[in-house]
């Protein structure tokens, strides 16, 4: 990957005479995607309006988690829009081109997420074009929630959250309020359903303390057998397997030596890079 990235970066960028796509045209095409197709600036989340819909009543942990996501999203949108606006002014000669702008343009040309954006964004190994599509999907989830923020989504895409750990902590906090258990004594248990998020006949959740339906898990090096309700060997040439909707619920951690030997303790990561992208053990 590093070799191909280096080869791409040293390609000529001077237009037809240089044998490659014109750098400015590539940047302007990306601006069109951001401003017209995605309309990021117009889709910033109005947090004050959302808070107004929630009223004066105590917020639930789920609402706090989603409000935090809105703040993260707005900060990222702001960084993208401001940076591209400055580059556009530089193209027009109304602003001096800086080294910071040139670095950002180089990243866009090479289909890499610019470092200043990656620093405040979610964990991702995607190229810039795919990353922007993923950003739109994350924004769409938040826009659906903000229309009626008093309700928890039927299914939450955990893989579309900046901070999935915050949402999982919210599940524990709701359970704590209902049962007077200590937060530190709880684990997140995962019950895999037989349905996918697009199926309308998902079994209704019993109550808030029963957890939350989430989607977005993929198993690497194995597959989920919905009929048997367990992990199985992966099929040939299919290293990844999409897991159906999962009910993430809080429960007391088992005493030492009392763990169920039939349960696989599965580490969950945000990306295939693993390491610092660890989320929790399912």
**Residues 136 and 2 placed together within one structural domain of the fold:** yes
Looking at every residue in the chain, the average pLDDT score rounds to: 89
**Total domains in the fold of the chain:** 2
**Residues 3 and 143 placed together within one structural domain of the fold:** yes
> 107 pLDDT exceeds 50?
yes
Give the confidence band of 5 by pLDDT, cuts at 50, 70, 90.
low
Residue at 145 is within a domain: yes
Residue at 99 is within a domain: yes
Phi then psi for residue 156, to 5 deg, are -105, 130
Q: Residue 95 sits in a domain of what CATH number?
A: 1.20.1270
Residues 190-234: tens digit of each pLDDT: 999 998 988 877 777 667 778 999 999 999 999 999 889 889 999
**Residues 199 and 273 placed together within one structural domain of the fold:** yes
**Residues 163 and 204 placed together within one structural domain of the fold:** yes
Residues 62-86: tens digit of each pLDDT: 999 999 999 999 999 999 999 999 9
Residue-number span of the structural domain to which 72 is assigned? 1-151
**16-25, 211-220, 249-258: which is most confident:** 211-220
- Tokens describing residue 141: 């989830």
Q: Look at residues 71, 254, 66, 60 and name the one whose alpha carbon lies nearest to residue 173.
A: 60
Residue at 60 is within a domain: yes
Do residues 54 and 150 lie in contact, with contact meaning Cβ atoms separated by under 8 Å?
yes
**Residues 111 and 240 placed together within one structural domain of the fold:** no
Residues 251-275 as b or e (16 or more Cβ within 10 Å = b): eeeeeeeeeeeeeeeeebebeeeee
Which of 108, 135, 151 delimits the end of a domain?
Answer: 151
**pTM of structure:** 0.88
Residue at 223 is within a domain: yes
Residues 142-159: tens digit of each pLDDT: 999 999 999 889 999 999
Q: For residue 184, what are the contacts with CB-CB under 8 A and spacing of at least 6? A: none
Which of 151, 172, 197 delimits the end of a domain?
Answer: 151
Residue whose tokens read 């490659």: 20
Residue at 260 is within a domain: no
Which of 151, 183, 199 delimits the end of a domain?
Answer: 151
**Residues 198 and 166 placed together within one structural domain of the fold:** yes
Residue whose tokens read 């000529």: 12
- Tokens describing residue 140: 């769409």
- Whole-number pLDDT of residue 149: 93
**Residues 111 and 233 placed together within one structural domain of the fold:** no
> 15 pLDDT exceeds 50?
no
- Whole-number pLDDT of residue 16: 40
**Residues 104 and 92 placed together within one structural domain of the fold:** yes
By DSSP bridging, strand 223-225 and strand 230-232 are antiparallel
- Dihedral of alpha carbons 122, 124, 128, 130, sign: negative
Residue at 212 is within a domain: yes
The full length of the chain comes to: 282
Q: How far apart are CA 16 and CA 44, in angstroms?
A: 38
Residue at 240 is within a domain: yes
- Tokens describing residue 6: 């280096």
Do residues 149 and 48 lie in contact, with contact meaning Cβ atoms separated by under 8 Å?
no
Residue at 216 is within a domain: yes
**Residues 18 and 108 placed together within one structural domain of the fold:** yes
Q: Look at residue 206 and give its three-state secondary structure.
A: coil
**Residues 203 and 232 placed together within one structural domain of the fold:** yes
**Residues 142 and 5 placed together within one structural domain of the fold:** yes
Q: How far does CA 166 lie from the centroid of its chain?
A: 12
Choice between 72 and 16, residue whose per-residue pLDDT is larger: 72
- Dihedral of alpha carbons 21, 23, 24, 26, sign: positive
Do residues 229 and 165 lie in contact, with contact meaning Cβ atoms separated by under 8 Å?
no
Residue whose tokens read 């989607």: 215
**Residues 145 and 172 placed together within one structural domain of the fold:** no
- Dihedral of alpha carbons 194, 198, 199, 200, sign: positive
- Tokens describing residue 105: 């343009």
- Whole-number pLDDT of residue 6: 55
Q: How far apart are CA 140 and CA 120, in angstroms?
A: 19
């Amino acid at each position: 990957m590093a070799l191909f990235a280096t080869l791409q970066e040293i390609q000529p960028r001077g237009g037809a005479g240089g044998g490659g796509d014109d750098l400015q045209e590539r940047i302007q095409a990306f601006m069109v995607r951001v401003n017209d197709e995605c309309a990021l600036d117009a889709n910033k989340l109005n947090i004050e309006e959302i808070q107004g819909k929630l009223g004066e009543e105590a917020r639930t942990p789920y609402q706090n988690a989603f409000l935090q996501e809105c703040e993260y999203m707005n900060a990222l949108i702001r960084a993208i829009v401001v940076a591209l606006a400055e580059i556009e002014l530089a193209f027009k000669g109304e602003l001096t081109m800086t080294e910071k702008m040139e670095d950002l343009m180089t990243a866009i040309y090479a289909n890499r997420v610019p470092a200043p954006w990656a620093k405040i964004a979610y964990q991702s190994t995607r190229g810039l074009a795919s990353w922007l599509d993923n950003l739109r999907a994350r924004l769409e989830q938040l826009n659906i929630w903000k229309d009626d923020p008093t309700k928890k989504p039927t299914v939450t895409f955990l893989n579309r959250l900046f901070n999935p750990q915050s949402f999982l902590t919210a599940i524990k906090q709701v359970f704590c309020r209902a049962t007077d258990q200590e937060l530190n004594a709880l684990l997140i248990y995962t019950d895999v359903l037989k349905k996918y998020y697009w199926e309308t006949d998902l079994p209704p959740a019993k109550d808030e303390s029963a957890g939350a339906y989430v989607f977005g898990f993929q198993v690497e090096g194995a597959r989920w057998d919905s009929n048997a309700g367990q992990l199985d060997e992966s099929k040939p040439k299919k290293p990844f397997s999409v897991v159906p909707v999962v009910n993430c619920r809080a429960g007391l951690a088992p005493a030492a030596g009392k763990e169920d030997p039939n349960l696989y303790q599965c580490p969950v990561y945000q990306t295939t890079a693993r390491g610092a992208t660890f989320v929790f053990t399912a």
